[in-house]
Chains A and B, each alone.
Chain A
Amino acid sequence: MFRYFPLAFKNTLRNRRRTALTISSIAVSLCLLGVLIAIYHALYYQQATPGQALRLIVRHKVSLAQVFPSAYEAKIRHIPGVQAVSAWNWYGGTYKNQQPVNFFARFGVDPVPFFKLRTQMTMPEDERQSFIRERTACIVSKDLADRLHFHLGQRIALKGDIYPGKLQLIIRGIFEDPDARDSLFFNMEYLRQLLPAGRRNMDSTVAVLVDSPEDAPRVAKAIDATFANADPPTKTQSEQQFTLSFVSFMGNIKLFLLSICAAVTFTILLVSGNTMAMSVRERIKEVGVLKTLGFTDGGVLSIIIGEAVAIAIIGGIIGLLFAEVLTAIVGKVAEGFMPELHGLTVQPATALIALGLAAFIGLVSSFLPAWNAARTNIIDSLRYSG
């Protein structure tokens, strides 16, 4: 087959406009396919970071919106394998206004165990100490500080929605943490003091640090078993599962991505098949000539299929280059509400899958026209006027 490759490649240059249009069409589709596969990969196949692998999140069994007594924290701390436990309450609320740029994660935590939990966090020691010491202190991630021009000592007001009232916070630290790029943490004790007695000692989620990643599933089971007959029971997930549950909450994204990938693949198949059918039809006479010169049916078949595969792969490579650019943009736009998409790129594996798919489509789509051309006998093809 490869013997005829130069000839197949030359053929692609005959009708340059058609080849260019086909390549563009395939490139556009494969660019999309590349982005979608990259998103799928980032959401469902990403390895947990070393920090994430050590953390579990405990919530009310039914839903995140329901709360459980803070007294659970003490019980969890006594379960073997648990190193640290901290409240991990999503505050929600509004900073300044409802504009998306002012949206970031805000969590109420217990500072001392919290620092143990953030195994990959880097922050100056004096800033850590002031967060532990000062009740109204808060700390923000470096990315967030850069984005909203926060600086140490700045006062921030957060208006509550899930929780009543307002928080008046002072920034006492700026940290870097690969697992919390867009977050603000404040002292849960400050929020508790503002709440009416009935809501004060309740948590919506609690974060747990375990001894080793291997031990995490066992500890998660042990926690849920402890509260199985309590009112309310709990549900414990790894931090990664927990964030993914937000994604699935927004709808069946998995099905959505897969069905769009299928639709895109199908269109490429149509486009490529159509082009090859057109180009073969123009060339039936030529096939007769080739065969007169002694080319076998198989030779003719591989020349035509080779042409289609070459076009598909060139389209695929161009598409993936665009996908690389596009994923970077999508990652930037989407990381705010889907942190998993931070630094989204086309992984080598993704590129390989997409290119393989392109080659396969080229093969399948050209097979029928190529087969027909190769089968036509010499006399008929020489006589053909298309």
Chain B
Amino acid sequence: MAIPLSYNLRNLVVRKATTLMTAAGIAVTVAVLLTVLGLVSGLTTAFTTSSDPLHVLVLRKGGNAELTSLLTVEQFQIIKSFPGIAKGHGGRPLASLEVVTIVNLPSPGNPDGTNFTLRGLSQSGIEMRHVKLAAGRWLRPGHREIVVGKAIAEGHPEARLGKRLKFGKGYWTIVGIMDGGSSAFNSEIWGDGAEIAADFNRPSTYSSALLEATDDVTAAALPKALESDPRLNITAMSEKDYYDAQTVSAAPIKFLGLFVCIIMGVGSCFAAMNTMYASVARRAKEIGTLRVLGFTRGSILFSFFVESVLLSLAGGILACLITLPLNRVTAGLGNFITFSETNFHFRIGPEVLLTGIVVSLILGALGGLLPAWQAGKKEILTALRET
């Protein structure tokens, strides 16, 4: 017969100070893990939602970043006429020749300023990305107008709607604020391709081209077809692969975070073990009584084991509650592909929370096993005689 769960729950409640302290120790460990996972998950989401499976990105031969890539207007004329490129608004091919560079925006908290990606694109480029406007309107071709990402507008008072930013050869008017959902576009500034190329002294040498294929099969075949064209001498890849490569920027933090979590996990495992041993020692008489009542060694072992798991579960839940508000927090991280900062939200999603709960259960199970074993092993007579 099993000992009812309420017995364990009441035991935990009776010794609430000890329970709370042990659970809090586990909670801190799990909270560190959740924070790191939430950061990595948020960054990954930002990059994965930036890409579209139908999009193909064209860069200079051997290029791995838009920033250092070079693509000429002549090359783009050839690329644009490739079969398999979808048609958009007004029947124009969904192909955008883009110039990508960096601008530095000072902010109140950072005198050195923060670097953001500046993207000069065509109307097709805007159409292909399906980014919504949060305020204002889209830019008109041939004008010195820009649309800034929401994260930039929020973090920089001088990048609000209607204001002007100075970069390149002069001032640019902000006519719209775009809301890229959780994508990296929230940290970009968009302007007319030709205008920006002229301002940055590269009227005929842009950076890259983005194409939209008509369907999945064409999207998979298009990069090969482009690369094998002898006139072009370019590298083409799916947009998804390009953005996936950028998630690598979270690797150092992930590594450091996991390293810390494992060590802290060992520490809190010892702490849980300590609490459970004390709990077993203090309840020796009780264990003897339970045995007299007819509970088996197995059910006592199991009961103490469950108690330890419950204890750590409380810690796990506490950790989830502490870290959930992080979902509203924005963080910025640079990477060595865009050389600019990408803002993203921490994402403590269901899978992250579940990981936290599972880890806390594992900690409790490891910590509880030996004390529970000892509780089950106790002889009735000696147990009853213990003080």
Interface set of A (CB-CB < 8 Å, partner B)? 17-18, 21-22, 24-26, 28-29, 31-32, 36, 61-66, 159-162, 164-165, 198, 249-251, 256, 260, 263-264, 266-268, 270-271, 273-275, 277-278, 337, 385-386
* CB-based contact A62/B103 at 8 Å: yes
Known contacts A29-B264, A62-B115; decide if A162 and B68 are in contact (CB<8 Å): yes
Q: Mark B33-69, 1 if CB is under 8 A from A, else 0.
A: 0000000000000000000000000001111110110
* CB-based contact B24/A270 at 8 Å: yes
Q: What is the chain B residue whose CB lies nearest that of A19?
A: B274
Interface set of B (CB-CB < 8 Å, partner A)? 17-18, 21-22, 24-25, 28-29, 31-32, 60-65, 67-68, 70, 101-104, 115, 205, 249, 252-253, 256, 260, 263-264, 266-268, 270-271, 273-275, 277-278, 282, 331, 333-334, 336, 339-340, 387
With A64-B339, A250-B334, A277-B17 known, 19 other A-B pairs at CB within 8 A are A18-B278, A21-B270, A21-B274, A22-B270, A25-B271, A62-B104, A65-B102, A161-B63, A162-B65, A264-B260, A267-B28, A270-B22, A270-B24, A274-B21, A274-B275, A275-B274, A278-B18, A278-B275, A337-B252
* CB-based contact A21/B264 at 8 Å: no
Q: What is the chain A residue whose CB lies nearest that of B22?
A: A274
- Across-interface contacts of B260 in A (CB, < 8 A): 32, 36, 260, 264
Known contacts A18-B274, A18-B278; decide if A63 and B104 are in contact (CB<8 Å): yes
* CB-based contact B205/A251 at 8 Å: no
* CB-based contact A198/B205 at 8 Å: yes
**Which of A198, A249, A278 sits near B334, CB closer than 8 Å?**
A249
Q: What is the chain B residue whose CB lies nearest that of A337?
A: B252
Q: What is the chain B residue whose CB lies nearest that of A365?
A: B21
| Alpha-carbon distance between A159 and B61 when the two chains are bound, in angstroms | 11
Distance (Å) between the CB of B74 and the closest chain A CB?
Answer: 14
- Across-interface contacts of A198 in B (CB, < 8 A): 205
* Nearest 7 pairs of A and B residues by beta carbon: A25-B270, A65-B339, A28-B267, A274-B21, A21-B274, A270-B25, A249-B334
- Across-interface contacts of B101 in A (CB, < 8 A): 66
Known contacts A271-B271, A274-B18, A277-B17; decide if A264 and B68 are in contact (CB<8 Å): no
| Alpha-carbon distance between A330 and B21 when the two chains are bound, in angstroms | 31
Distance (Å) between the CB of A358 and the closest chain B CB?
Answer: 13
Identify 14 residue pairs between A and B in the complex whose beta-carbon atoms are under 8 Å apart, listed by A's number.
A24-B267, A24-B270, A25-B268, A26-B267, A28-B267, A28-B270, A32-B264, A64-B339, A161-B63, A164-B62, A250-B252, A250-B333, A267-B25, A271-B25
**Which of A36, A160, A256, A271 sits near B267, CB closer than 8 Å?**
A271
Q: Using a Cβ cutoff of 8 Å, how many contacts connect chains A and B? A: 128
Known contacts A161-B63, A250-B253; decide if A28 and B266 are in contact (CB<8 Å): yes
* CB-based contact B253/A273 at 8 Å: no
Q: What is the chain B residue whose CB lies nearest that of A265?
A: B28
Known contacts A22-B274, A162-B68, A250-B253; decide if A28 and B21 are in contact (CB<8 Å): no
The residue among A36, A61, A63 with the most chain B CB atoms within 10 A of its own CB is A63
* CB-based contact B267/A267 at 8 Å: yes
Distance (Å) between the CB of B207 and the closest chain A CB?
Answer: 11
| Alpha-carbon distance between A337 and B64 when the two chains are bound, in angstroms | 19
* CB-based contact B67/A65 at 8 Å: yes
* CB-based contact B28/A159 at 8 Å: no
* CB-based contact A264/B264 at 8 Å: yes
| Alpha-carbon distance between A24 and B277 when the two chains are bound, in angstroms | 15
* CB-based contact A25/B29 at 8 Å: no
Q: What is the chain A residue whose CB lies nearest that of B341?
A: A249
| Alpha-carbon distance between A251 and B331 when the two chains are bound, in angstroms | 9
| Alpha-carbon distance between A267 and B101 when the two chains are bound, in angstroms | 46
| Alpha-carbon distance between A11 and B205 when the two chains are bound, in angstroms | 78
- Across-interface contacts of B270 in A (CB, < 8 A): 21-22, 24-25, 28, 271
| Alpha-carbon distance between A256 and B334 when the two chains are bound, in angstroms | 15
* CB-based contact A25/B102 at 8 Å: no
| Alpha-carbon distance between A73 and B205 when the two chains are bound, in angstroms | 26
| Alpha-carbon distance between A263 and B260 when the two chains are bound, in angstroms | 11
| Alpha-carbon distance between A270 and B263 when the two chains are bound, in angstroms | 16
Distance (Å) between the CB of A91 and the closest chain B CB?
Answer: 12
| Alpha-carbon distance between A125 and B334 when the two chains are bound, in angstroms | 42
| Alpha-carbon distance between A385 and B252 when the two chains are bound, in angstroms | 53
| Alpha-carbon distance between A65 and B282 when the two chains are bound, in angstroms | 65
Known contacts A25-B271, A260-B260, A270-B25; decide if A251 and B333 are in contact (CB<8 Å): yes
- Across-interface contacts of B275 in A (CB, < 8 A): 274, 278
Q: What is the chain A residue whose CB lies nearest that of B102?
A: A63
- Across-interface contacts of A270 in B (CB, < 8 A): 21-22, 24-25, 28, 271
| Alpha-carbon distance between A159 and B32 when the two chains are bound, in angstroms | 40
| Alpha-carbon distance between A28 and B25 when the two chains are bound, in angstroms | 13
Distance (Å) between the CB of B335 and the closest chain A CB?
Answer: 8
| Alpha-carbon distance between A28 and B272 when the two chains are bound, in angstroms | 14
- Across-interface contacts of A274 in B (CB, < 8 A): 18, 21-22, 25, 271, 274-275
Distance (Å) between the CB of A343 and the closest chain B CB?
Answer: 19
Q: What is the chain A residue whose CB lies nearest that of B21?
A: A274
* CB-based contact B273/A21 at 8 Å: yes
* CB-based contact B263/A31 at 8 Å: yes
